[in-house]
Amino acid sequence: ETDIDDRYGDLDSRADSDVPEIPPSSDRTPEILQKALSGLSSRWKNWWIRGILTLTMISLFFLTIYMGSFMLMLLVLGIQVKCFHEIITIGYRVYHSYELPWFRTLSWYFLLCVNYFFYGETVADYFATFVQREEQLQFLIRYHRFISFALYLAGFCMFVLSLVKKHYRLQFYMFAWTHVTLLITVTQSHLVIQNLFEGMIWFLVPISSVICNDITAYLFGFFFGRTPLIKLSPKKTWEGFIGGFFSTVVFGFIAAYVLSKYQYFVCPVEYRSDVNSFVTECEPADLFQLHSYSLPSFLKVVLRRETVSLYPFQIHSIALSTFASLIGPFGGFFASGFKRAFKIKDFADTIPGHGGIMDRFDCQYLMATFVHVYITSFIRGPNPSKVLQQLLVLQPEQQLSIYRTLKTHLTEKGILQPVLNV
């Protein structure tokens, strides 16, 4: 008891006002843009920089879509790593004076462990047939969870060994910081990829809806904004929020109609053992086939028609775009609160006029979770091809047992005729 002051006297108990200032982000705007826009006010200069960089990013996004699902997965992984880096760097800068041992090394180690776990689960779940063909992967997949747990335990033990007297509380703050960052970045990016496996349309419509809402809310707020929306983000206005909502719903409805026409966007990513490759070819599900719907009476008068042809996915797109425009922005508000807590304007200065990668994708993480929950709750049913993949990796005696059970079941239901023994 007499050693309490020595043990706990230097624990970190600083208030928010004591958080050290982080150096302001540098201006990384290309010099050619700086010269071209030098005559404009700072407000319009920022508008043009944001606009030009937004169009550039959208163009690169379209190019990645053209390159296929695999490149989109690499893009998601790259964004995940960069977002993780930006958040961890803030923690490192805030507490840099303490010179905590192994903080950054352990942070990146835990990122590697968590990615290994999630991506291994994805490979085992979606590509069981492919794994069965590759002997080198069979051991890794069979003991995947044990290996993942062992890797995490190694990091956990390294953290315990790194604890330094008089800085225990701070080090546990940083341990929690890393794990919350992993929850925000890795888990959500994993869900994005899970959505992509269901069909590229489940990736594109939600993500493009958030992008559309971000752009249109900014434009409506820039030109018509007068009424502040929330104190966390003083520049956000009700005019921008409402204008972004209606624009996003219309955009999502139209985008769903266009993308539903093409197998490339609606077919799940699957591994076909007959051609030994990953394909996106299928007979489009009923969700992506035109149906006739009767119009309400008041619309019949306005449109002068009794029915309208729509893809069922268009109706689901209304729910997705509504979430993107009403709930998605709260991811941005949360990020604004985080930045205010640590007295920073942006997470980084990666993109001129926009800030860091995390500044552009803070709303996408909520959207990823919602889409995954929406698919599992309202869309996904039994997947025959996935069941077949799992059956093909079983031992022959297990396959025969399932065959006999299924045959007996179908015979009892009258679908198969009983075999008469002569």
Q: Do 15 and 74 lie in a common domain?
A: yes
State which residues form the domain around 392.
387-422
pLDDT at residue 373 in the model: 93
Count of structural domains within the chain: 2
Q: Do 203 and 247 lie in a common domain?
A: yes
pLDDT at residue 275 in the model: 63
41 sits in the region (left: phi over 0; alpha: psi -120 to 50; else beta) called beta
Q: Do 377 and 397 lie in a common domain?
A: no
| Distances 102 to 82, 83, 108, 113, 158 between C-alpha atoms, Å | 20, 20, 10, 16, 9
pLDDT at residue 361 in the model: 82
pLDDT at residue 166 in the model: 80
Virtual CA dihedral for 204, 328, 363, 345, nearest 10 degrees? 150
Let me know: does 179 contact 109? Beta carbons within 8 Å: no
Tell me the pLDDT tens digit for each residue of 241-289: 999 999 999 999 999 999 999 998 998 877 666 666 667 778 888 999 9
CA gap 415, 221 in Å, rounded: 62
pLDDT at residue 129 in the model: 63
Task: Specify the amino acid at residue 411.
Answer: T
Q: Do 211 and 234 lie in a common domain?
A: yes
Let me know: does 237 contact 345? Beta carbons within 8 Å: no
Residue 196 domain-assigned (yes or no): yes
pLDDT at residue 298 in the model: 81
Residue 148 domain-assigned (yes or no): no
pLDDT at residue 27 in the model: 57
pLDDT < 70 positions in the chain: 1-31, 33-36, 95-99, 128-134, 271-278, 353-354, 381-386, 389, 419-422
Residue linked to tokens 């990384």: 28
Q: Give the pair of three-digit tokens for residue 359.
A: 């500044």
pLDDT at residue 11 in the model: 38
DSSP structure string for 374-401: HIIIII----HHHHHHHHHTS-HHHHHH
Q: Do 399 and 278 lie in a common domain?
A: no
Residue 118 domain-assigned (yes or no): no
Residue 136 domain-assigned (yes or no): no
Q: Do 194 and 282 lie in a common domain?
A: yes
Tell me the pLDDT tens digit for each residue of 372-398: 999 989 987 656 666 776 777 778 888
